[in-house]
Amino acid sequence: MRVLVCGAGIQGSYCASHLHERGVEVSLLARGARLEDYIRNGARIAVHPSDEIRIHHVQMVADSSSIEGYDLYIVIMQKQQAKAFSEILGKSIGDATVVFLGNNGTGIRDYEMHINADQMLLGFFGVSGYREKDHIRIGKAAVPPVWIGALTDGARPRLEEVTAFLEHSEFQVIHPNSIDGWLKCHLALILPLAGGVYGANTDTCRLARTPALLKLTIRALKETIQAMRNLRIRIEPRKFGLLARMPSWYLKRMFEKMMCTRESEISLGGHAGVARAEMQHLATEFQELLVESEVQTPAYDRLMDFLNDEGITVEEGFDGDLLR
């Protein structure tokens, strides 16, 4: 199977390198300085907790207007970028399968004007990280997880084929009850967390040490979970739904410990530092769901102030009322 990974960010670079290391005929679509760097030096990746930097010389593709001839297109871009790129894909892919791996609050709605719905799969690539000097640092990913699903009956045979390919390539493939619902629940989780992290100037330990901001984040999570329930969206994964039932004091202690781990620094703080534009776009998508749910979300709305205005943060240690 000939595979083109579209998007040479953190996840796309790691996905293409993982496939290349396992003998897959894979190419990586990149542009600009990233393209020149990878051609010259290869994709340099370290996976936490190891400091070993492994170099992967993946075949590079520079021109997005000439991407015909692949069997599988894996799109790993920020949502607003994937939405724009779908028009180019629709003119190039023939009958190939396209897998959009990334945050998404609108299902296939933003893509189906350019690509046949039965050719598309949606999913999420469960690794994260950030760029550190001359390499990419990835959070722990011994067996990279991929959540994936089909939104139409016509796409189910392609789901089976792609699942077999990914499992053979040593990914951990997970099929949620509904990939569309899973992705919406994921937004309900990451957007409050992102707002909290931005309120702490992308420092996860600072968030843990700022009681008012941490309590606001926990309250916002409970609001977004309730919104999913009002929309009759099955809460996935199940442990996410349990957050709404846990007392806030317990969640505060849990997040205080979690936010000061190296894993959180990489996956939350590091990612937030380069993904503000995507988070803002996703917040707009998610707002449609909140309006439909008719749930009041004062804590979530306050957190979006930190996401949308880079100059607003909360003083470390502050324990007052942020809703005033």
Average pLDDT over residues 108-116: 96
Q: Where residue 33 falls among pLDDT bands split at 50, 70, 90?
A: confident
- CA–chain centroid gap for 193, Å, is 13
Q: Can you tell me the mean pLDDT for 249-276?
A: 84
> What is the distance between the alpha carbons of residues 233 and 223, in angstroms, rounded to a whole number?
14
- State whether CATH 3.20.20.140 applies to domain 2-175: no
CA angle in degrees (0–180, nearest 5) for 172-178-9: 50
Q: What pLDDT does 133 receive?
A: 80
Name the DSSP letter for residue 243.
G
Tell me: the pLDDT tens digits for 155-187? Answer: 999 999 999 999 999 999 999 999 999 999 999
| Residue 188 near residue 228 (C-beta atoms within 8 A) | yes
CB 202 within 8 A of CB 276: no
pLDDT digits over 269-302, tens only?
Answer: 777 777 899 999 999 999 999 999 999 999 999 9
Question: Confidence class of residue 223 from pLDDT cuts 50, 70 and 90?
Answer: very high
Residue 50 reports pLDDT greater than 90: no
* Confidence band of 70 (pLDDT split at 50, 70, 90): very high
The sheet carrying 145-149 orders its strands as: 59-61, 25-29, 2-6, 72-75, 97-101, 120-125, 145-149, 172-174
Indicate whether 199 pLDDT > 80.
yes
Identity of the amino acid at 167: E
Q: Tell me the CA distances in angstroms from 225 to 23, 64, 82, 219, 239, one per residue in order.
A: 41, 39, 26, 10, 11
Q: Residue range 189-199: average pLDDT?
A: 94
Percent of the chain having pLDDT more than 90? Answer: 78
- Whether 238 shows a pLDDT value over 90: the answer reads no
H-helix or E-strand spanning residue 292: helix 276-293
Q: For the chain, what is the mean pLDDT?
A: 93
Domain range summary for the chain, segments of one domain joined by +: 2-175, 181-308
Average pLDDT over residues 199-215: 95
This prediction's pTM:
0.94
Report the DSSP pairing between strands 2-6 and 72-75. Answer: parallel
* pLDDT above 70 (res 141): no
Lookup: tokens for 96 = 């190939």
